[in-house]
Amino acid sequence: MKPHDALTEIATLLERERSSRYKSKAFRAAADAIAGLSDEQLRDAASLRRRKGIGDSTFGVIQEALAGDVPQYLADLRERAGVLVSSTLRAALRGDLHSHSDWSDGLTSIDLMVDAARSLGHDYLALTDHSPRLRVANGLSSERLLEQLGVVATMSGDGFTLLSGIEVDILDDGALDQSPEMLDRLDIVVASAHSKLRMERAPMTRRLVAAASNPHVDVLGHVTGRLVEGSRGTRPQSTFDARAVFEACEAHGVAVEINSRPERQDPPDELLAMALEIGCLFSIDSDAHAPGQLSLIDHGAARAERIGVPPERIVTTWPLERLREWTNRPR
């Protein structure tokens, strides 16, 4: 296989398994370092070894690929990737409404996220970088978000649409961390709580109900805030009146996110079943922070299928025209 393809696939699979971001970035940097090199240049081992961005591991991968082999590191990653491709619901998904780029806390540029979404067969992807208050995630000010809109506008074509968006922080009182004027300009607004997740039941309920009732919100993101595995450790779910929150979502046409990240699995099965019984819409999203994580939607699809969520209630199975009719609904 081609060395550049091997390095890129390794980076993608490392991102999918949420490995160290330094590992995946190292392989992407190596891929960038050899992009455009001739076969003769690639086979000049001494010169290649001195090239910036090439380390011991990436050099070894390049040599194995040049020898005509699938590099062992890549073979091992492929074996443990566990990509779920047999789900009927997964095949019905047309896009993803929650993703991040290096404009906030994502690992790569917007164009690499778009390339990955295209390769997965998506019709659309919403770019939803964080809002200003989330400084730890390099949240976008109104000025930076406005600048990003100009970039997003250049990224669609050939049957694919990059939707403008935001993952807007839900403030303590349920207000949103971005001006209404800016939210009006976006295709998709995902509202999520990222702070004070241990708030008492009554104020947390009011907070989430207010967000779900906000006329700018399309999707309520990772509603309980829980973490069940992974490098960040575990975190219990927030305490709130889930029925009240989901009834607000249903009343206002807001989709409950089925967050596909394995460390989140949010909402839990029992709350997912409750939202289904209440009549909510759903959005199966990757919450991807790197290109390789966009494929995590297979996990969300498997959970939704197991719980019995009908495809027609999942907005990410809808064609773009119907999706836009929903986001343009009377508020």
SS3 157: strand
User: Which residues of the chain fall short of a pLDDT of 70?
Assistant: 82-86
Residues 74 and 92 in one domain: no
pLDDT for the residue 88: 86
* Per-position DSSP letters for 87-116, written without gaps between them: -HHHHH--EES-B--TTTT-SS-HHHHHHH
Structure tokens given for 112: 């690499």
Task: Domain of residue 150: give its range.
Answer: 88-327
Do 58 and 192 fall within a single domain?
Answer: no
100 and 204 in a common domain:
yes
Domain end among 81, 97, 132: 81
State whether 140 and 266 are in the same domain. Answer: yes
245 and 172, same structural domain?
Answer: yes
pLDDT digits (tens, 9 = 90+) for 78-128: 888 765 545 789 999 999 999 999 999 999 999 999 999 999 999 999 999
Q: Would you state the pLDDT for residue 20?
A: 84
Alpha-carbon distance of 97 to 312, in angstroms, equals 16
Q: Please check whether residues 213 and 230 belong to one and the same domain.
A: yes
> Is residue 296 domain-shared with residue 150, that is, in the same domain?
yes
Segment holding 258, helix H or strand E: strand 255-259
CATH at residue 21: 1.10.150
Q: Who's near 322: CB < 8 A, 6+ residues apart? A: none
Q: Do residues 146 and 199 both lie within one domain? A: yes
- Indicate the number of domains in the chain: 2
196 lies in the same domain as 49: no
* Cβ atoms within 10 Å, residue 173: 10
Q: What is the pLDDT of residue 231?
A: 81
Q: Is the dihedral of CA 312, 313, 317, 322 positive or negative?
A: positive
CA gap 215, 194 in Å, rounded: 20
Query: Is the same domain home to 19 and 112?
Result: no
Among 51, 81, 111, the domain boundary falls at 81
Q: What is the pLDDT of residue 87?
A: 74
Which of these three, 66, 81, 96, is where a domain ends? Answer: 81
Average pLDDT, the chain: 95
Collapsing DSSP states into helix, strand and coil, what is residue 162?
strand
